[in-house]
A and B are shown apart, each in its own frame.
Chain A
Amino acid sequence: MKWLRSYPKRFFWTIYGLGLGISLVLDLWLIYSKKLHYHFQFQYFPEFFALFGFLGCMLLILIAKGMGLFIVKDEDYYEKKLRR
């Protein structure tokens, strides 16, 4: 059962890297050849979804960490706070 417990790390990174590169090039080509049909103009901006995914992910984590300064407490916060 060794195959079940091993994970193809290098294979994954190769595929992933290729996927990133291809998607970047493909996006430009698809927009150039007018094969994409979006609803809004800004979606035709080159690499819009790549930027949206990357920046959205970063912003989400960073803003949440900022919020965390105020709302993250100890695990027994309510037990301590609400003890009478």
Chain B
Amino acid sequence: MEWIHPGILILLGGLLIPHLRWKRVRLTYFLLLPIAGLTILWFTSSGTFGPIPPWPQALLKWRVRLMGYELLIVKIDKLSMIFAFIYVIAAFCMNLYALRVKNNWEHVAAMVYVGSSIGAIFAGDFFTLFFFLEMMSWCPVFLIWFRGTRKSMGAAIRYALWHHFSGACILAGIVMHVHRTGSLEMVHLPWGWGGDYLGYNLMLLGFIINSATTPFHSWLSDSYSEATPSGSIYMTAYTTKTAIYCLIRTFSGVPLLMWMGAIQAVFALFLAVLENDGRRLCSYHIISQIGYMVAGVGIGTEMAINGAISHALCHIIYNALLYMGAGCVLVVVGTAKFNELGGLYKYMPISFWLYMIGGFSISGFPLFNGFISKVMTIEAAERIHHIPVYFLLEGATVGTFLHTGLKLPWNMWLKGMDEPTPSIRAKLKDSPFNTPISMLLGMGILAFLCIFMGVYPTILYERLPYPVEFVPFTLTRVFSHMQLFLFTFLGFWVLRKMVLGHPTYTLDTDWFARIAGHWILWFCEKPLMAFASYMDQKVMEIVHFFVWMSRNPALALRIKREEVTLKMKSLFVNPSHLKERELQLVEKKKNYPGELPKLGLGGSLFLILLALSLYLILYLISLE
């Protein structure tokens, strides 16, 4: 039986969505696409198309020869399999959440996005990877544009700029790598400082930008919070996790990444304290959680890599859930700003509790899926006895619970306990069921997965590439984490007045890029354009002079000579003496070109001969 590529199936299948006429057929089809992908993956993993050999070997499919290079369009091993599984499962829940969206093209963009990210996961060579990464970088641009606000227009363009810059870096790295080794195959790459490693550093920079690692994280909070409520859910999962996957494949064990990740995990939390927009706050938590993964990749031991992978996968699930919770509020009441919200609990309790499951997961409560993956990365840092990295990662746990578990639900649902503000109240029915049911279903499945994976971690652990001999639920770990959370709550309650929302905007590292961009545009528009128009004017003056002269060169030369003589004389002679000649000159200019001199046959011939001999001389010179 021939294998079908699930990514390409979803990608091409997604293009059909707007052409299906009946709404029910269209929506069923939209839901069936990820299920079809899941079915193929299920058959593949159960060995229908050949058994998957143990890590690090791979089941190869679909080799293509293109222009003298061998492309591995599909190469399946344990690492890509587990990523693809979570991708399609998450895509199903997200589709369920997005069912009520009226714009079919949003569905198309989402499905192309999911399909191409699965394509990138299965890519066995750098060229295929680059192709799918570029395709991926376009879809979110549309998901942001479809929001239709003025801010989203700008955010989409900034997103495209960031990702095309990173794409160019990756391409340059690939070209240098191929030039050096002659092979396109996706392998673990060397890393170091210096000119020899320029290509690899560029590629690393590209992946770092794609994975939103500090200081290149600002595109994420900037764009995700401006996307459509359901479009942003897709964006939380695919771009950054695919970049983490690429980092695991190519740059695991780079110590620089360990430091960047650990610092990023805490740095993003400081910005989250000041944030007023619910979805921007969740964005900073994506960035902070990515810190754990990047740190895990940087530590590079088997346990750390396993931790990074499982954290990436759990993160897809709980973060989609968090974004869905904030998105629910945005859809129902039209805003996600903390200073306008509060007291929604009576009107949307189910989405509150589903959100809280995501909140407990991201914080790393025992029996939720964040715990089983997060403690693995922290344990890996402990085992290499790296105290600063341990402190940063454990500190990030505190901050994560503070924001997603306490600040956001407090500001959105609980603050001002009983009633929201009148303008918000007017948009709500007087019942606890204000959230659309399809949204709750999508959230429900994800919440179930959060708890299921948290209670039964073996289902994840046995599919990880390296063997796991790690038990998450030990007395020490459960007790220390519970105590940590209990006292974080105490700290929050003491300072709860300080985390209320204010209608402000918090600057991020993109300030430098945006201000620099502003000045570059100013330079182009003002000084550069002034210089250009000045040059343009001067050139046109010269052209006009030649056109004028060509009407009657002999007279024109005479006029010019006269002008020069008059000017010279006016330096020495009393100007009143020259009045008459000036008047004559004006008269001459007025009559120009006047009567053209008539040339006889001899004169004409002489001129032609002169021209030809000049041409001959030029020709002879050029022969030398």
Contact = CB atoms under 8 A, between A and B. Distances in A.
Interface of A: 1, 4-5, 7, 16, 19-20, 23, 26-27, 30, 35-40, 43, 47, 49-58, 60-65, 67-68, 71-78, 81-82, 84
- Closest 7 pairs between A and B when the two form their complex, measured CB to CB: A57-B491, A64-B273, A53-B487, A39-B382, A54-B487, A53-B484, A56-B398
**SS class, residues of chain B in contact with chain A:** helix
Interface string B328-362: 00000000000000000110011000000000000
B505 A16 contact: no
A24 B524 CA distance: 64
Contact of A73 (B385, B491, B505): B505
A60 B402 contact: yes
A17 B499 CA distance: 23
B479 A56 contact: no
A36 B475 contact: yes
B595 interface: no
Interface stretch (B168-176, B199-207, B387-395): B387-395
A50 B490 CA distance: 10
B63 interface: no
B431 interface: yes
Contacts of A57: 398-399, 402, 487-488, 490-492, 495
Contacts of A60: 269-270, 273, 395, 398-399, 402
Contacts of B387: 40
Interface residues of B, number: 56
Given A40-B390, A63-B270, A75 B488 contact: no
A33 to B, nearest CB: 11
B346 A5 contact: yes
A81 B422 CA distance: 33
Nearest to B151: A79
5 contacts: A19-B486, A20-B487, A36-B475, A52-B395, A60-B269
A9 B394 CA distance: 30
Interface of B: 269-271, 273-274, 345-346, 349-350, 382-383, 385, 387, 390, 394-395, 398-399, 402, 414, 431-432, 474-476, 479-492, 494-495, 498-499, 502-508, 514-515, 518, 521-522, 525
A50 B274 contact: no
A42 to B, nearest CB: 8
A1 B432 CA distance: 8
A53 B269 CA distance: 14
Given A54-B491, A56-B488, A60-B398, A65 B483 contact: no
A56 B399 contact: yes
B9 to A, nearest CB: 41
Nearest to B431: A1
Contacts of B495: 57-58, 61-62
Nearest to A2: B432
A82 B518 contact: yes
A73 B270 contact: no
A36 to B, nearest CB: 5
Nearest to A60: B399
A61 to B, nearest CB: 5
A49 B390 contact: no
A40 B491 contact: no
Contact of B504 (A23, A65, A73): A73
Contacts of A47: 483
A77 to B, nearest CB: 5
